């Protein structure tokens, strides 16, 4: 029996290595595009609905060039404006097939692992592709971020338009876009959340389809509703803070 022990140990090591190889953590989507503007490089995010960018980068002609990464090289293309609001613009690339960021089904939450994609390509020896961050005050102050590294002024300047992703169920999901606004005193960065994206995108877009929740008429059928998977928006106060109304004397 002893002759089989080394073989069993090797087999156990191989199984462990295979299991570890199958595990992976947060990784960049590589859905970042770059626009060259008067203020320097401004980023955008390629999504399932098109390229989302800050409206100030779009010229009056409605078309602008951008750069994106494939493998180890950068390529150029032109995108045309489709929709525009005060906070976001939706553009469609003319010819390129980009990596597409997946929209999240619900907004960023206080317990999410959040990351800014701060590089157009994979991580290198001189820097990481993702910047870890979290919601300011657990989201009670709205769509505001606190980054783990770097000054907020530098992050806002260099990474305006970058995508904010949540790591959920082994997938990076888009929950916001950095808009370049920050507060030095609070050390916070503002971002554009899913609600503003939802208002810009057409009804047939993936984000709208995922956020539709079928409601049951529980008062009519007497069946308790299952709240599993439903989460409040960032701006909603925690349930513990809600106080019952005072009774009238």
pLDDT digits (tens, 9 = 90+) for 51-65: 999 999 999 899 999
102-210 classified as CATH 1.20.58.390: no
Express the helix, strand and coil content of the chain in percent, nearest 5 each. 20, 35, 45
Decide if 121 contacts 33 (C-beta within 8 A): no
The segment with the largest mean pLDDT, out of 15-19, 69-73, 183-187, is: 183-187
> CATH 2.40.10.10 occupies which residues in the chain?
102-210
**pLDDT above 80 (res 72):** no
Confidence at residue 125, expressed as pLDDT on a 0 to 100 scale: 41
**How much is the pLDDT for 128?**
63
Please tell me the distance from the alpha carbon of residue 62 to that of residue 58, in angstroms, as a whole number. 6
- Residue with more model confidence, 152 or 247: 152
Q: Are 135 and 108 in contact (CB under 8 A)?
A: yes
**Residue 92: pLDDT above 60?**
yes
pLDDT of residue 14: 44
Q: How many residues does the chain have?
A: 249
Q: Which residue has the higher pLDDT, 198 or 12?
A: 198
Non-local CB neighbours of 82 within 8 Å, separated by 6+ positions:
50, 90, 91, 92
pLDDT at position 30: 86
Indicate the class that CATH gives domain 32-93. Answer: mainly beta
| Predicted local distance difference test score (pLDDT) of residue 221 | 47
SS (H, E, C) 4-23: HHHHHHHHHHHHHHHHHHHC
Q: What pLDDT does residue 18 have?
A: 40
Instruction: Identify which of 117, 108, 104, 132 has the alpha carbon closest to the alpha carbon of residue 33.
Output: 117
Tokens of 68: 């994106």
Per-residue pLDDT reduced to its tens digit, 107-140? 999 999 999 998 754 444 444 689 999 999 988 8
Instruction: Specify the pLDDT at position 21.
Output: 40
Distance set, CA 58 to CA 75, 218, 224, 238 (Å):
19, 47, 49, 38
Please provide residue 189's backbone torsions phi and psi, each rounded to the nearest 5 degrees: -115, 140
Using one digit for the tens of pLDDT, what is the confidence trace for 153-182? 999 989 999 999 999 989 999 999 999 999
In terms of phi and psi (left: phi > 0; alpha: psi -120 to 50; beta: otherwise), the region of 235 is alpha
Give residue 195's pLDDT.
Answer: 87
pLDDT at 223 over 80: no
């Amino acid at each position: 029996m002893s002759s089989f022990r080394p073989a069993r140990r090797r087999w156990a090591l191989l199984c462990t290595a295979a299991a570890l190889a199958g595990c992976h953590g947060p990784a960049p989507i590589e859905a970042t595009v770059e626009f060259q503007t008067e203020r320097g490089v401004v980023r955008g995010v390629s999504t399932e609905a098109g390229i989302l960018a800050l409206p100030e980068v779009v010229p009056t002609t409605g078309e602008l060039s951008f750069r994106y990464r494939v493998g180890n090289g950068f390529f150029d293309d032109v995108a045309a404006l489709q929709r525009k609001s005060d906070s976001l613009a939706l553009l469609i690339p003319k010819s390129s097939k980009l990596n597409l960021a997946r929209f999240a089904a619900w907004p960023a939450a206080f317990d999410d692992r959040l990351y800014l994609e701060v590089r157009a390509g994979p991580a290198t020896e001189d820097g990481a592709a993702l910047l870890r961050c979290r919601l300011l005050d657990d989201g009670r102050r709205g769509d505001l971020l606190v980054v783990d590294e770097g000054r907020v002024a530098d992050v806002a300047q260099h990474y305006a338009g970058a995508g904010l992703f949540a790591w959920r169920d082994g997938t990076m999901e888009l929950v916001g876009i950095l808009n370049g606004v920050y507060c030095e005193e609070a050390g916070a960065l503002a971002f554009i959340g899913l609600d503003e994206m939802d208002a810009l995108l057409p009804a047939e877009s993936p984000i709208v389809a995922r956020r539709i929740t079928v409601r049951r008429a529980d008062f009519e059928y007497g069946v308790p509703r299952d709240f599993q998977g439903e989460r409040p928006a960032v701006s909603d106060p925690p349930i513990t803070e809600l106080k019952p109304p005072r009774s009238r004397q």
